[in-house]
Chains A and B, each alone.
Chain A
């Protein structure tokens, strides 16, 4: 093998120009530069240290009383600091970098100079040709000619400006935003940047070796952001309910505010789906109404039952035709004499209906997953969950709250939470005996058995009740009773289900108070679980009954319209009961507690229950989109009314919740609950309906087909026949969509990605542990060095 290349190490002994030879292997240079740095900093911070010495003198009595042994190592220099003779040590300590964060402008600027220099190095690697000999070659490439610690304030600022120029625009703006300097300083920096931009811009351009896409992407992103901010400032309508939300946040804090923000998000989702459906399906069918006119007249009762006049209207599936609107062949068949002014554009209604529903679901899915990802990224933190007492002390105060009564309440809440945490720590140190633990487990099991059995009971009750109502309905039809009675009967099942949904959460609250969990968060999560289970199981039963058509809508011709009507009735009843619950649960309770009980205690705003009601309403909308395309519009109206009603009731009747809820984690929980049981269930239901259920023979856009999905097959065959060049489309359709192998492959890829992410997170946790150990070691090193410094200074004084 070849010999290793000759390697000579030229280490300069010249200590004056130690700026360029800053290699850690060169111990002598390191020591001298440290000494010079100390002298430099001490002369610069002379005035600051006088102030510091005075403050330390003032702050000393508090420092003198540490009782625990862990601080004994610190006691020695602490006691030594009392003597004014140790001013050298104090001066040195006062100018340590960790003490100058945010203090002197010079320190901030040099700190940010280092940060931007590091950023610049990361973005552009130096070329290997510029290697010159040194012990640590990687250090040589970088611009270490200027040492910011030595420069004056003006030089430091211009250095920082120079470094900022060489960054990309987005990094530059981010760096400028996060510098903790005053506004005047930032303006001065920006002025310097603008001055230096023209001559240095080109140099930076060459030096950075940019990718043109990267730079233009940054400019576009910046430009968009500027435009958006200007829009927000100009249009108050772009931020609906801004003042109302501010009022709520100011009085009740972030956790109650998150409910209203969730409501706003749901409103946006519904407006979006409604617009898509309006443009592609509803408006066109409205422009070409079907032949037979609506025989029934409008009475007010329709708003409640959704039947009557609404049955043959745009609201339901049955209204939409299965023909191609504006078909040129059809018009030629009818033999119109007048030639059309423009060539007519045919519009295939069944395909449009199916694809629009599919696209709106797909788009909602993407939006949901994106917001889940976004909020999860904000709220999830890799690392241990210990340290809640510290977090409670520093992070519990909500600065948004500005009303005196709410502030007082917040103080009390924090006090209670701190006492609870201390009690928990005390109880953790003395664990429960076996008997007590067994008792606790037994209580827990019993509570869960009770709640599961109530769920089962409710489901069975709903099943038998619906069969009974169906029988009653058939009787009435046979007897030909009045239409009022007939339609009134239709309302009974939704009424019962909504009643159950309203009463059972109160029962679960009672169960929870009996259980008496240790942690209030666990209590809230368990309440959510139970309520969610009840609602989803009841909805599951109803979906089964709708699709099997054995009970509900069994003797209707147009069963899809019937199912749509049922869903409409459920939505309206849900709204009515929410209203009643607000009135009785909040208004009446407050009146009673004020007048009768004479207490100042107002009812609390139960966030979990209200959010679950919102999710339930949204699930109903998603289940019904296929059968009633205008249902998102109904939901939009409902949400608008609900916002104002809930806000008024909140302001008049409620007080903030005393249980601790973290706003960002709540947002994640809400969006996850919306995505997983709710949206997924609705998507499964719709997919099953599209793929396997036979549509009715005489009404709707899919009359006469085997399943709704067959319309796509029909269309694909039509395309194949019309133009033989696009056989790849049918091939795609046959092998990718119909074949299950592709779906299995996709799920396999998804699982692999999830596993990969889990491993990455585990690796990060391990690194965090290692870094924590390193920090502890550095801390010990620092204390050791301070000791040594102190003893050296003492020795010098003794010798002197």
Chain B
């Protein structure tokens, strides 16, 4: 069980080797975002938060396995789209609004774009992707837009273990 090995080595004192009794162990976010797959990713906090049961970012082993299974090659596209939406939804209101977009852009470009450019990009993105006219992107809008770039879900949105 390679994943269990990885989970264990992050905190060997806390994580038991024996999981048959289903112990209630959660690792805090600080430990998990130091993993090599996540360390340099600008969305690492959001990724860990979307998979944690309590929303705070601490992952139990089940959540950990969940995260790697969704971000693997074999997960179905609909599931990946749902979690991608969750990751980009910074204020967890089930819509990607302008604030979420601004935060995404800042993380993507490490704040290299000027404020004017950011506003322009956000407006254009909402204009392009919002289909029902409510000024923000719902899950249906997001899924429709992602389906136009099929290689994102199949190739880029995954960790290579």
Binding site for B on A (CB under 8 A): 52, 55-56, 58-59, 62-63, 66, 68, 70-71, 74, 98-103, 174, 177-180, 182-184, 245-246, 249-250, 254, 378-379, 381, 383, 385-387, 389-391, 393-404, 407-408, 411-412, 414-415, 418-419, 422, 425, 662-665, 772, 775-776, 778-780, 782-783
Q: What 10 pairs across the A-B complex have the smallest Cβ distances?
A: A779-B132, A664-B151, A395-B152, A62-B99, A395-B149, A415-B109, A407-B40, A387-B128, A183-B62, A779-B133
B121's contact among A393, A397, A411, by CB below 8 Å, is which?
Answer: A393
Query: By the criterion CB–CB under 8 Å, are B128 and A418 in contact?
Result: no
B124 near A778 with CB under 8 A, answer no
* A-chain residues with CB within 8 Å of residue B129 when the two chains form the complex: 387, 390
Whether the pair B101, A393 counts as a contact (CB closer than 8 A) is yes
Residues of A within 8 A of B49 (CB): none
Report the stretch among B7-15, B25-33, B75-83 that lies at the interface. Answer: B75-83
B134 to chain A, nearest CB (A): 6
**Which residues of chain B are within 8 angstroms of A404 by Cβ–Cβ distance?**
40
Within 8 A of A (CB), among B10-60: 36-37, 39-43, 53
User: Is A183 a contact of B117 with CB atoms below 8 Å?
Assistant: no
Known: A100-B94, A415-B112. 18 other contacts (CB 8 A): A52-B93, A70-B133, A98-B140, A174-B76, A179-B79, A180-B83, A183-B66, A184-B62, A381-B150, A394-B84, A394-B149, A395-B149, A399-B41, A402-B36, A403-B40, A412-B112, A418-B117, A776-B131
Residues of B bordering A, CB below 8 Å? 36-37, 39-43, 53, 62-63, 65-66, 69, 71, 75-76, 78-79, 82-86, 88, 91-95, 97-99, 101-102, 104-105, 108-110, 112-113, 117, 120-121, 123-125, 128-129, 131-135, 138-140, 142, 145-152, 154-160
Q: Is the CB of A390 within 8 A of B128?
A: yes
Contact of A66 among B82, B135, B146 (CB under 8 A): B135
Specify which chain A residues have a CB less than 8 angstroms from the CB of B124 in the assembled complex.
Answer: 389-390, 425
Contact of A394 among B53, B112, B152, B159 (CB under 8 A): B152
Q: How far is the CB of A641 from chain B (nearest CB, A)?
A: 25
Tell me the smallest distance from the CB of A236 to a CB of chain B, in Å: 12
**A254 close to B79 (CB less than 8 A):** no
Closest B residue to A786 using CB positions: B134
Given contacts A391-B145, A415-B109, whether A74 and B134 have CB atoms under 8 Å apart is yes
A783–B132 Cα distance when bound, in Å, is 10
| Contact yes or no, A662 B151, CB < 8 A | yes
Known A-B contacts A183-B66, A776-B131; the reply to A99 vs B93 at CB < 8 A is yes
**Cβ–Cβ contact A772 & B93, under 8 A:** no
**Complex contacts, B101 vs chain A, CB 8 Å:** 393
CA distance A428 to B83 in the complex (A): 35
A709 to chain B, nearest CB (A): 44
The residue in B76, B112, B133, B155 that gathers the most chain A C-beta atoms within 10 A of its C-beta is B155
Q: How far is the CB of B48 from chain A (nearest CB, A)?
A: 13
Which residues of the other chain, A, contact B149 by a CB distance below 8 angstroms?
391, 394-395, 662
Min CB–CB distance B70 → chain A (angstroms): 8
| Cα A71 to Cα B122 with chains together (Å) | 14
Q: Say whether B135 contacts A71, CB under 8 Å.
A: yes
Q: Is the CB of A102 within 8 A of B82?
A: yes
* Residues of the B chain whose Cβ atoms lie less than 8 Å from the Cβ of A783: 133-134
Query: Which residues on A sit within 8 Å (CB–CB) of B110?
Result: 408, 411, 415
**Across the interface, do B155 and A664 meet the contact criterion of CB distance under 8 Å?**
yes
Q: Measured between alpha carbons, how far is A120 from B43 in the docked complex, in Å?
A: 39
Residues of B within 8 A of A101 (CB): 82, 94, 139
Inter-subunit contact A99/B94 (CB<8 Å)? yes
Minimum C-beta distance from A165 to chain B (A): 20
In the assembled complex, how far is the CB of residue B2 from the closest CB belonging to chain A, in whole angstroms? 9
Query: B113 touching A402 by the CB < 8 A rule?
Result: no
Asked whether A400 lies within 8 Å of B160 as measured between CB atoms, the reply is: yes
What is the CB-to-nearest-CB distance from A635 to chain B, in angstroms, rounded to a whole number? 27
Please give the distance in Å from B10's CB to the nearest CB on chain A: 16
Known contacts: A52-B93, A379-B151. The answer to whether A779 contacts B125 by CB under 8 A is: no
Cα separation A597 to B155 with both chains bound (whole Å): 37
